[in-house]
A and B are shown apart, each in its own frame.
Chain A
């Protein structure tokens, strides 16, 4: 496949540990692999980001939290012991940054694509280095003694993590393990959407396609 080409695979469904599937119906992980890493954000994308900044204003930010999808994430955060006003949901974090800086700041191709994907769809999106992931991704509680690379000490048993077949790659809605995220030498990227009850599957798929299309350029 040529450099910069994008895999046209449909989004895959990640696995969810049995006890989590029973406890949290609606919890899901969808992901797609693209055959490129990040890089400098092209001018058209920066313009698109600027245009999005203009469309996203203060009243929208204020009303965000009781829109269907952002509210669903806020509720899920509370269900798993997080305070969405301390550790913000992805879309609210971006909204806050927009208000603080007067616009969405362009950082890189991937970051800008994720920003657009998250703000347009309200879905929680994130990315990992595909060459550093072993097998399929899913969500499960951490086992006793398991660590998140780059973080001192073991995780408290039962911490919800996004994991591959071997190890945790990130805390659910939290930090990414050292070396598992996208960096300048990344050649292939996994784009992930985390779904919770109240977030339609269609929204997850559309969010992933939106980001994939942007990465395609």
Chain B
């Protein structure tokens, strides 16, 4: 029965817990296109939330692109533009997650190297591991160096020195 198929069975769910008015907002008819726009806006809200959380968890890593780009505003966006925004957020989220996964694996491997270096510095002579390579903040590094210079080199006495990095205090 076409009438039943086209009828809206439940009132549209408003975004952000704003209670939906029976029969649509202010009594106006809620068109299918408006329902689509509302749904797209909800999707955009969820994606923005996820992207924001990822941004916070990515800190202090830099060099990750977070911008999505504007579609021209401020104005009321139609379905097509909302879809563009939604799709752009999906792509950005996916790329950011992939990049963070990649860096996470790299940092994990580097942390493994650092642990071996600390356990057996003589087997990792002159190896230097930067803080940012293990996901830490700051510009210092861990460096396997001989104790007491040439004497340490000759007698195979090595240790890991931790450098604080920049001489100036960080902001």
1/0 per residue, CB under 8 A from A, across B48-78: the answer is 1100110110010000001111111111110
User: Of B10-18, B114-122, B123-131, which stretch is located at the interface?
Assistant: B10-18
CB distance from B167 to the nearest CB of A (A): 18
Say whether B132 faces chain A, with CB atoms less than 8 Å apart: no
A26 part of interface (Cβ distance < 8 Å)? yes
What residues of chain A lie closer than 8 Å to B44, measured between beta carbons? 75, 78-79
Chain B residues near A159 (CB-CB < 8 A) = 73-75
Taken together as a complex, chains A and B put the C-alpha atoms of A174 and B74 apart, in Å, by: 8
- Residues of chain A with a CB closer than 8 A to B49's CB: 66, 71, 75
Q: A23-B76, A66-B52, A74-B48 are in contact. Are A85 and B67 (CB under 8 A)?
A: yes
In the bound complex, CA of A72 to CA of B41 (Å): 12
C-alpha gap A26/B49 in the complex (Å): 18
* A interface bracket (residues with beta carbon within 8 Å of B): 35 or more
Cβ of B14 and Cβ of A85 under 8 Å apart?
Answer: no
Q: Give 1 or 0 for each of B64-107: 1 = CB within 8 Å of chain A CB.
A: 00111111111111000110010001000000000000000000
Interface status of A179 (Cβ within 8 A of chain B): no
Per the bound structure, the CA–CA distance linking A144 and B28 in Å amounts to 25
Asked if A158 contacts B16 (CB within 8 A), the reply is no
Contacts A75-B48, A197-B16 given; indicate if A86 touches B77 (C-beta within 8 A). no
Is the CB–CB distance between B70 and A83 below 8 Å?
yes
With contact pairs A71-B52, A78-B48 given, residues A85 and B171 touching in the complex (Cβ less than 8 Å): no
With CB as the reference atom, state the residue of chain A lying closest to B137. Answer: A58
Q: Is the CB of A82 within 8 A of B73?
A: yes
**CB atoms of B75 and A197 under 8 A apart:** no
User: Which bracket fits the contact residues of B?
Assistant: 35 or more
Q: A20-B76, A74-B48 are in contact. Are A26 and B71 (CB under 8 A)?
A: no
In angstroms, Cα B55 to Cα A63, docked, is 8
> What does the 1/0 interface line of A65-76 toward B look like (CB < 8 Å)?
110000110110
Contact A81 B77 (CB under 8 A): yes
Determine the distance from Cα of A115 to Cα of B77 in the docked complex, in whole angstroms: 30
Chain A, residue nearest B75 (CB): A158
Q: Are B56 and A66 in contact, CB atoms less than 8 angstroms apart? A: yes
- State whether A62 touches B52 (Cβ < 8 A): no
Rounded to whole Å, the gap between the CB of B15 and the closest CB of chain A is 6
Instruction: State in angstroms the CA–CA spacing of A23 and B74 once bound together.
Output: 14
Chain A residues within 8 Å of B18, by CB? 25-26, 197
Contact B171 A58, beta carbon cutoff 8 Å:
yes
Instruction: Confirm or deny: B26 has a beta carbon within 8 angstroms of a beta carbon on chain A.
Output: yes
Report how far A66 CA is from B156 CA in the complex, Å. Answer: 52
List residues of chain A with CB within 8 A of the CB of B77. 79-81
B47 to chain A, nearest CB (A): 9
- Residues A22 and B25 in contact in the complex (CB < 8 Å), given A80-B77, A198-B16: yes
- Known contacts A22-B34, A26-B15, A141-B75; 8 further A-B pairs (Cβ under 8 A): A20-B76, A62-B56, A63-B56, A71-B48, A81-B72, A81-B77, A87-B70, A158-B76
Residues of A within 8 A of B (CB): 19-23, 25-26, 58, 62-63, 65-66, 71-72, 74-75, 77-83, 85-87, 99, 102, 141, 156, 158-160, 171-174, 197-198
Q: Could you list 20 examples of A-B contacts with CB < 8 Å?
A: A19-B76, A21-B26, A22-B28, A62-B55, A62-B56, A63-B56, A65-B52, A72-B16, A78-B44, A78-B48, A80-B73, A80-B77, A81-B71, A81-B74, A81-B85, A87-B70, A141-B75, A159-B73, A159-B75, A160-B74
